[in-house]
Chains A and B, each alone.
Chain A
Amino acid sequence: MIVGLILALVAGSLVGLQNIFNSKVNEHTGSWASTTLVLGMGFLASLMVGLIVEGGNLFNLQNMQPWYWFSGLIGVGVVTCILNGIKLLGPTYAISILLSSQLCFALLWDSLGWFGLEQVPFTPQKLLGVLIIASGIIVFKFGDRTVEAGEQF
């Protein structure tokens, strides 16, 4: 369990870092130019590490199902929804909904065990945990905070 948690924490920290870097790129270019660059870099990096780890096996796709090719398109839906959500609601409100929605769907997925992933039974305790995290997100995002350190006494 500890290894799983550490892996998830590493992923989350890099997502945070990547968001900052990507927004820096987006300051100078349009959103589709940025998205294309970001996914292109992700592809190159995965290809290189994949070749180092797997060698020629990287191209051995025996159990490949046709729909696997299209799963990457979900990423385009992610980008469009987040960009439009932030544009219409502002970052605080949009990100709070986005994060809470992720958590609720995660709980739904674990409970239903869709896609042949191992089912993790639903318990009221799990719902309580998700609700506490979602409340924490709202307190974090909507709590008053001062912009610019120069304003402090």
Chain B
Amino acid sequence: MRGIIFAFLGGAFITLQGVANARISQDIGTWQTATITQFTGFVMALLIFLFVRDGSLQMFKKVKPYYLVGGAFAAIIIFSNISAIHRIGVTLTISAVLIAQLGLTFFVDIKGWFGVAKQQMKLPQFIGIGMMVAGVIVLGL
């Protein structure tokens, strides 16, 4: 039950984050919003990290360098997300974000890129993607 509550709240927080960013950007601008929210999030995570210290430079050196800069995508993600919410609303934006996200993961899984364990997609996965796209069309009509 606790796991369900965590997952449910996680989803609520993600949507809340997108909505809060869209709201803040109306007042101070999109890039200002991206910079400030990433900054406060970074400071908070850093403070917690300094307490728990669950990593070291040695550990980061074991990671392939380009995986380390994955966080930088956030600049484009936040900008696109805010702009999309202003143009097409929260529901349609979140739906399209989810489909693109699952679609990309699906493709990487099939190809086994980035050292991800190769997974074979079966009929349910194709039906699932089809249903999601159909749902977005129903939303957008």
CA distance A12 to B9 in the complex (A): 20
B99-141 interface bits toward A, Cβ cutoff 8 Å, 1 = contact, 0 = none: 1111111001000101111111111110111111011111111
B75 touching A49, Cβ below 8 Å:
yes
Q: Assuming A78-B17, A88-B3, A135-B131, is B63 touching A25 (CB within 8 A)?
A: yes
CA distance A43 to B36 in the complex (A): 8
B81 touching A100, Cβ below 8 Å:
no
Kindly count the residue-residue contacts between A and B in the assembled complex, taking CB atoms under 8 Å apart: 453
- CB B37 to nearest CB in A, in angstroms, measures 4
CA distance A107 to B138 in the complex (A): 14
- CB B15 to nearest CB in A, in angstroms, measures 4
A98 touching B54, Cβ below 8 Å:
no
- CB A68 to nearest CB in B, in angstroms, measures 5
- CB B17 to nearest CB in A, in angstroms, measures 5
A16 touching B76, Cβ below 8 Å:
no
Q: Assuming A30-B52, A63-B28, A132-B131, is B63 touching A76 (CB within 8 A)?
A: no
- CB B29 to nearest CB in A, in angstroms, measures 7
- Report the count of interface residues on B (CB-CB < 8 A): 118
B123 partner residues in chain A, CB cutoff 8 A: 143
CA distance A64 to B127 in the complex (A): 46
B48 partner residues in chain A, CB cutoff 8 A: 32, 36, 76
- CB B46 to nearest CB in A, in angstroms, measures 5
- CB A92 to nearest CB in B, in angstroms, measures 11
- CB A151 to nearest CB in B, in angstroms, measures 8
- CB B39 to nearest CB in A, in angstroms, measures 5
B89 touching A101, Cβ below 8 Å:
no
A6-36 interface bits toward B, Cβ cutoff 8 Å, 1 = contact, 0 = none: 0111111111111111101101111111111
A3 partner residues in chain B, CB cutoff 8 A: 87
CA distance A53 to B76 in the complex (A): 13
In the complex, which residue of chain B has the Cβ closest to the Cβ of A9? B100
Extra contacts besides A49-B75, A89-B7, A125-B138 (5): CB < 8 Å: A64-B27, A68-B24, A73-B44, A97-B8, A107-B91
Q: B residues within 8 Å of A by Cβ?
A: 2-4, 6-17, 19-24, 26-29, 31-42, 44-46, 48-49, 52, 54-56, 59-60, 62-64, 66-81, 83-105, 108, 112, 114-125, 127-132, 134-141
